[in-house]
Each structure stands twice: as structure tokens, then as C-alpha cells.
Chain A
């Protein structure tokens, strides 16, 4: 059994806590969060202790930490964990400031860092990747990724989120890199505030279409919206020289209703906690493998590359031109 500590007792922290507690090779020993009540609730639920960071890092029993605190604290927790020799499972994004992550990278070089790009662990997208890798549809040429949230987050979250590209599209940037098998070199983005003027008022956008181009001229489209009235829309289409492979939305049931106005299917799983519940479990299982010595399947370099794409997208929105990706 490997003991781990959880930093952050919010929404995503409670998911990771439950998955860690359910995993046979992991024990959730500590929960760290300045919000004492939230920390206490999770600790009690899973038989862990509420602790402060120093206590966690000083405990030689702790093999790894899960960083699921607010984004602005991710990097500091990662650095402290690396200094203490703990393995790290860090929620995305690792930080909002690319330069800051690049500066910190040498200090994280020796650490084992698993980045929480959960979509790489999703069964649908893994099946898609397996089809692509099998060569069933020839060589990959272009990719269309649709990623629409059901409803915008509270405006207080939007203010500190780092903006649509660093907070939301960051997942799609990682998915694009994973499926393309090469890092895009050029980004164009057009973005608007169409959903809620309050989002525009705090300087962010809620709707974007992003185009990525790789060195081999393969193209990728990312479609983002903060609001889709019909649920969480998460689809990927990969177009190859011999056909196409797509992953569609997962519905709440396989039910369909046929009546006079037409045929209707059940709704899409409503948000990421439902749609990616299984993926969160699998990424925690992978963290257990990392603690047992495996190389993280998605790590620091991926975190930096996704952030570089987000930054290029922001530059493109500002300049109206395509922006090179800073390598």
C-alpha cells in the first residue's frame, strides 16, 4: 500500500479522494486544504487526517501527492513535493504562466509528475486512438475536436481561471498533441463572447474556434463553447487517408423514444464528472503504477506544451494572425 496526500478538497479533489480510497494499492493518508470544513469532510469520509503541507512532506510514509488545489497553488505544491521526493499527480493546468513553469522545470526534472489530462484515460478516446494506431483508416491527416461545456462556470471562477484557452481548451490542446503524435507549430484562433456578457466584462471569451497546424501540415480544429444547452458535447473525428474514425457522445442510457414528431435519444451525460468518471478512476490507477515505478504516461513536458498552445492561441486572438508555437 502506498500512502498519498491530497491537496485541495474542492470538487475535483473529492473525485480524486474517492478514487484513491477505492484503489487497492493506495491509502489516502492526508487531506490538505485551508478550507478546514471541506478538508475535514473528505478526511472523515475516507478515514484520512487533515494536515498541513509541512506535515505531509516530512512524513516518509507518503509516497505521492495529488495536487487538486486552486490553479494558482499548483506549481508551488509541485515544487515542494519534488523537493521532498514525493511523486506528483497534478491537476491541469500546472500553472497559468508559461514562463514561470519553464523556469521551474529544472527543479521538477527529477520528479515523477503525472499531469491530470484525464481525457487520455477515457475509454472512448483510447478506443479511438487504438483504431488510429492500428492503421485501419490509413494515415491521419486532420482532426476535428468538439468540446462544449453544458453551462458556464460562476463568474468568480472565470475571473481566476486563466481564461478559456488555459482553463478549458488546455484539455483539447493536450488531446490534439496526443492524437496527432506531433506538436502543432502554428495556431490560429477566433474567439467571441456570445454566451454571457458577464464573461466578456471580466475580459474573457466563451466561444472559440481554433485551428492548429503541424510541421507536416496536418490540420486540427478545436471547437469550444462554455454553454451547450443539450449537455456536455465531447466528440472527436479523425480523418485519415483511408477513412474516418469518430468517438461520439455518451448518452445517459441507450433508450430511444419514437413518437409522432420523430425519434429521440436520451440526453448526453451532463458534465465532466459523469462523462469522465471512469477516466478519473483510470488516471488514479495509473498514479498507483507511477508510485510503483512506472513512467507517467503524461507529464511535465505535456503540461508545458499545452500551455504553449494556449498562449499561442491568445496571441492569435490579439493579432488576428496565426501565431507560432514557442517550443
Chain B
């Protein structure tokens, strides 16, 4: 494996850490030097696979040649690790969400949002080629003026109930992606949120105090509307679609399929399944966002999403939570 120009450390060797670690190791501009992970076997296995070495956070940050840090640990540790890395003068790639509490983000606004802060928060869907093609169509005016937006975002299967208590709940953990998509595509931050939510998939999720099914309506100051459809379990794969309705037409992003093969039989025709997981559906976006991080390290780009996108999405999640409790539409706190 050739070593790229920018030395980076991976924090966290779990599910997301493995995705980002492998993409970093494969990126010709990045050199994955360190894997930082308290679970030693997990750490050494990944380090061996990727050609780096295990280290402590302090060791990694003390390396003057280290240019960037990839934070892919559990959510509750993100903010501390990001702050420590920024403090050490490193550029940071952080898995979403940056934190679950808007107040925590606001408390560190100086570090996180200072001009030129090299903080990229990984809202990967903005790097998906299908959604980028949609955005290009919207920007080109192909459907006229955008009026309303539908985001359908259904997971294939519910996570284990043990994941729920630390997840932050459906809106902060899952819908957070859709909130970011809405802000990105509307190019306007919604000012009002209403949400109906229910536990229809797995009663264990309700016992853990969360919901697994939701419909949300976001409203902008201009009167434009956005609907978000969420479930933790679709039963047919990872359903990720966007429908944008404008004054001159609509633009639809459907689900890519694992193959283009169709079978036609006596009972009708059947298409190949849609992708079974986010890792498969968004594989390209995970590679592209690491490439974006390499651009940031090279000084060729400013981070596309950072403090503002994180806080903006989180404030929408908080409004949705309040709406479920109060059964009314909630004004979204300003950034």
C-alpha cells in the first residue's frame, strides 16, 4: 500500500471506524498511521489489516507529522476527542452526530466554529452521487422553484435494543441525517417542526424509551414544506429516496439495486433487491467524504459540514422531540 501525503489517526475501530479506516488506507492521499481503540484485539486486528499501528490518543496527537484525526468512536466521546484533536492542531473528521446536546456544542463554539476551524462532520449523504445529481438538477432550475420535499429514509431492520439507550433516540441518531438533507436541499433552515412518532416495530424499543416509526413535517419561513418518513425496519432493505417537487416538475431519486437483473415469471416481474444496509448503499459516499477530508488537509477545500450543520440538525431533532410530547408544531431555535 502506498503511503499518502497526510498522516491520519483513526479513533474507534467499531463498525464506522472500520469503514472509515479502510477508506483512509485505500485513499492515495492519506496515510493511516495510528489506530486508537481501547479494545486491544479490535485495535490490533484493524491496525494490522490497514498497515498502521495501535497507539494511545496522547501518542498519536504528540506526533508532529500527524495531520488529521478520524473520530469514529461512540457518540458520547465525539466532542471531547474533537476538542482535544483541534487543540493539538490537527484537522478533524468526525462521525455524526458531533454531540447529542445543542448546549454542549454552543459551549465550545469558539473552538468548533472559529474561522477556518478544520472540522468536518460526516453527513455522508451529501457525498452520495445520486443525491449530488439531484442537487445539481435543483441548482440548474430543472424543476423550477423547489416547493416541497419528501425524504423517505427507512432502515432495513431495527438495531438491537441494547443500542437504543445510548443512541440519543430516533431523531438525534437516525433522523439527524434527514434533517441535514432537508437543510442542504431546501437551502433554507426550517423554522417549524411537527412530528408524529410511534413504536410499531419492536416493543423493546418503547421499553427503552424510544420510538421506531415517525412522520415529520418541516416548514420554512417561505412556506415551503418538507416531509420525512422514518422507520427502523422496512422489511425489504435500506429504503432511501428523495422526491423534490418544484414549480416546473419533480425530481426523484430512487433506490439503487444490487443488480439490474429482473426476473419475469407467471406471477409477475421482480427486480433485484435494493441494498441491504447503509454500508453497501452509501459505500461511494464514505469514500468521497474521505476524499473531501483529504482536500481539507491539502487546503483545497473548507469542510462542507461542521459546527453549523451539526447544530442545525440537532436543533431540528430537539424541536421534533418536543413536538411529539406537546403534539403541536414547534418553532426551531435559531443557530
Q: How far is the CB of B67 from chain A (nearest CB, A)?
A: 41
Contact A321-B229, Cβ < 8 Å, known A229-B249, A244-B236: no
Nearest-CB distance from A176 to chain B (Å)? Answer: 12
Per-residue A-contact encoding for B219-254, CB less than 8 Å = 1, 0 else: 100011101010101111001000101111110000
Q: Kindly report which residue of chain B lies nearest to residue A205, judged by CB atoms.
A: B223
Whether A190 lies near B215 (C-beta < 8 A) is: no
B173 beta carbon closer than 8 Å to chain A: no
- The answer to whether A322 touches B213 (Cβ under 8 A) is no
Stretch in contact with the other chain, from A17-25, A69-77, A209-217: A209-217
- Residue A188 is within 8 A (CB to CB) of chain B in the complex: yes
Q: How far is the CB of A269 from chain B (nearest CB, A)?
A: 16
Which residues on A sit within 8 Å (CB–CB) of B88?
none
Binds B, one of A54-62, A114-122, A134-142, A278-286: A134-142
- Taking a contact as CB atoms under 8 Å apart, the answer to whether B249 and A221 are in contact is no
Q: Could you tell me the distance between the alpha carbons of A193 and B225 in the complex, rounded to whole angstroms?
A: 11
How many residues of A are counted as interface, with CB atoms below 8 angstroms from the partner's CB atoms? 41
Chain B residues with CB under 8 A of A190: 192, 194, 217, 219, 225, 329
Q: A207-B225, A321-B328 are in contact. Are A239 and B198 (CB under 8 A)?
A: no
Is the Cβ of A142 less than 8 Å from the Cβ of B235?
no
Q: In the assembly, what is the distance between CA of A225 and CA of B200, in Å?
A: 29
B154 adjacent to chain A (CB < 8 Å): yes
- Are A188 and B148 also in contact (CB < 8 A) when A242-B235, A319-B328 are? no
**Chain B residues whose C-beta falls within 8 Å of the C-beta of A137 in the assembled complex:** 235
Residues of chain B contacted by A91 (CB below 8 angstroms): none
B318 is an interface residue with CB less than 8 A from chain A: no
B299-324 CB contacts (< 8 Å) to partner A? none
Q: How far is the CA of A239 from the CA of B215 in the complex (A)?
A: 13
Across-interface contacts of B196 in A (CB, < 8 A): 186, 188, 211, 213, 219, 322
- Smallest beta-carbon distance B246→chain A, Å: 8
Given A211-B196, A240-B235, A244-B235, A192 contacting B223 (CB threshold 8 A) = yes
Q: Are A243 and B235 in contact, CB atoms less than 8 angstroms apart?
A: yes
Chain B residues, Cβ within 8 Å of A208: 225
- Chain A residues contacting B126 (CB-CB under 8 Å) are none
Query: Is B217 a contact partner of A218 (Cβ separation < 8 A)?
Result: no
Q: Does A29 contact B (CB under 8 A)?
A: no
Contact A142 B229 (CB under 8 A): yes
How far, in angstroms, from A195 to B229 measured CA to CA in the complex?
A: 24
Instruction: Say yes or no: A188-B235 contact (C-beta < 8 A), given A217-B200, A218-B200.
Output: no
Instruction: Count contacts on B: residues with CB < 8 A to the other chain.
Output: 41
Q: A229 contacts which of B192, B219, B231, B247 (Cβ < 8 Å)? A: B247
Cβ-defined contact, B198 with A229, below 8 A: no
Task: Tell whether, in the assembled complex, residue B328 and residue A320 are in contact, meaning their CB atoms are under 8 Å apart.
Answer: yes
Contact of A194 (CB < 8 Å), options: B194, B223, B248 = B223
| Chain A neighbourhood of B248, CB < 8 A | 229
Given the known A-B contacts A194-B224, A321-B327, A322-B327, are A209 and B235 also in contact in the complex, defined by CB atoms under 8 Å? no
Contact among B144, B227, B234, B249 for A209, CB-based, below 8 A:
B227
Q: Which residues of A contact B199 (CB under 8 A)?
A: 217
Q: Which of B154, B219, B225 contacts A239 (CB 8 A)?
A: B154
Question: In angstroms, how far is the closest chain A Cβ from the Cβ of B207?
Answer: 15
Check B249–A188 contact: CB distance below 8 A: no
Contact of A322 among B152, B194, B233 (CB under 8 A): B194
Query: Does the CB pair B234–A244 fall under 8 Å?
Result: yes
B213 and A142: CB pair below 8 A? yes
Q: How many Å from the CB of B232 to the closest CB on chain A?
A: 11
Task: Report how far A239 CA is from B229 CA in the complex, Å.
Answer: 11
Within 8 Å of chain A (Cβ to Cβ): is B147? yes
Is B292 part of the binding interface, using a Cβ–Cβ cutoff of 8 Å?
Answer: no
User: Which of A138, A193, A321 is B235 in contact with, Cβ under 8 Å?
Assistant: A138
> Is A192 a contact partner of B213 (Cβ separation < 8 A)?
no
Residues of A within 8 A of B90 (CB): none
Chain A residues, CB < 8 A from B198: 213, 217-219
CB distance from B179 to the nearest CB of A (A): 16
Q: Is the CB of B245 within 8 A of A225?
A: yes
- Which residue of the partner chain A has the closest CB to B248? A229
Contact partner of A233 among B154, B213, B250, B326, CB < 8 A? B250
Q: In the bound complex, do residue A239 and residue B231 qualify as a contact, i.e. CB atoms below 8 Å apart?
A: yes
Min CB–CB distance A53 → chain B (angstroms)? 43
- A209–B148 touching, CB < 8 Å: yes
Closest Cβ–Cβ distance, residue B90 to chain A (whole Å): 43
Q: Which residues of A contact B147 (CB under 8 A)?
A: 194-195, 207, 225
Q: Which interface residue of A186, A190, A213 has the most chain B CB atoms within 10 A?
A: A190
Flag if A228 contacts B245 (CB, 8 Å).
yes
A/B interface sample: 11 pairs, CB < 8 A: A138-B235, A141-B200, A146-B243, A190-B192, A193-B223, A194-B148, A194-B224, A217-B198, A219-B196, A221-B215, A243-B235
Extra contacts besides A192-B225, A194-B223, A229-B248 (5): CB < 8 Å? A192-B219, A213-B198, A221-B215, A228-B245, A241-B201
Q: 10 closest A-B pairs (Cβ-Cβ)?
A: A321-B328, A192-B223, A217-B198, A243-B235, A243-B236, A320-B329, A242-B235, A141-B200, A194-B147, A322-B327
